[in-house]
Amino acid sequence: MFNKYLKIVIAVLIAVWAGFQFAEENIGNGIMILLLAGVFVFFFFKNEFLLLAFLQIRKQNLVGAQKWLDYIKNPSSALRKPQEAYYYFLHGLLVTQTSMTKADKMFKKALKLGLSMDHDVAMAKLNMAGVAMHRRRKREATTLLNEAKKLDKHGMLKDQIKMMKDQMKKI
């Protein structure tokens, strides 16, 4: 909705307004206005459209997630680097069913930019292993699966990794 730097400028202006409210001894107004400034600071670190897209993916509404991601026109200028990584990660998840090569490029770009959570890196590597397996690159798929298994510390992807290893034995 707003440029990443515009959010900080708006937060500073709102904080100044809160300062004036405190100076006029309107403490309640000042506190509420500071909370409003906090919303803009929060959205600087967590993009609102990415949050809504994650929510839609959690509901398994891929069309809705794509709609929210389409609102981000130029991710390199509108998002911070970690947010841009998750933008490409989400795009990779959405494109996996239609274009394997495009999904692979999106996951590689997300990994290059740096996903912050290990289970997201594991999910990206798992999907990249699926693409490699689809292209009959067994060695690359095995390497990616082993990396995904190391990163999956809580065992959330254990069943998917086991299923892909079973499928690789058939190749």
The reply to whether 24 and 75 lie within a common domain is: no
The better pLDDT of the pair 167, 33 is held by 33
The per-residue pLDDT for 1 is: 54
Do 93 and 20 sit in the same domain of this protein?
Answer: no
pLDDT, one tens digit per residue, over 43-53 is: 888 889 999 99
So what's the pLDDT on residue 54? 92
Domain co-membership, 22 together with 87: no
Give the single-character DSSP code of 115: -
128 with 139, same domain: the answer is: yes
CB 11 within 8 A of CB 5: no
pTM of the model: 0.83
Residue 3 gets the label, from left (phi > 0), alpha (psi -120 to 50) or beta, of: beta
CATH code (residue 141):
1.25.40.10
pLDDT of residue 2: 66
Tokens 């100044």 map to which residue?
A: 16
Q: Kindly report the number of other CB atoms within 10 A of residue 37's CB atom.
A: 18
Task: Check whether 93 has a pLDDT greater than 80.
Answer: yes
- How many domains, the chain? 2
Q: What share of the chain is helix, strand, coil (3-state, %, to 5)?
A: 80, 0, 20
- pLDDT tens per residue, range 45-80: 888 999 999 999 999 999 999 999 999 988 888 888
Which structure tokens are listed for 150?
């190391």
Whether the CB-CB separation of 127 and 93 falls below 8 Å is answered with yes
Q: 90 with 154, same domain?
A: yes
| Same-domain status, 96 and 157 | yes
- pLDDT tens column, 105-161: 999 999 999 888 888 899 999 999 988 888 888 899 889 988 988 988 888 888 888
Whose structure tokens read 């904080």? 15
> Same domain, yes or no, for 23 and 40?
yes
pLDDT > 90 fraction of the chain, expressed in percent and rounded: 51
Domain match, 5 and 78 both: no
Check whether residue 137 and residue 158 sit in a common domain: yes
Q: Are residues 51 and 40 in the same domain?
A: no
Q: Summarize pLDDT for 18-29 with one digit per residue, the tens.
A: 999 999 999 999
Q: Is the pLDDT of residue 10 over 70?
A: yes
User: Which residue range forms the structural domain that includes residue 56?
Assistant: 47-170
Asked if 38 and 58 sit in the same domain, the reply is no
100 and 137 in a single domain? The answer is yes
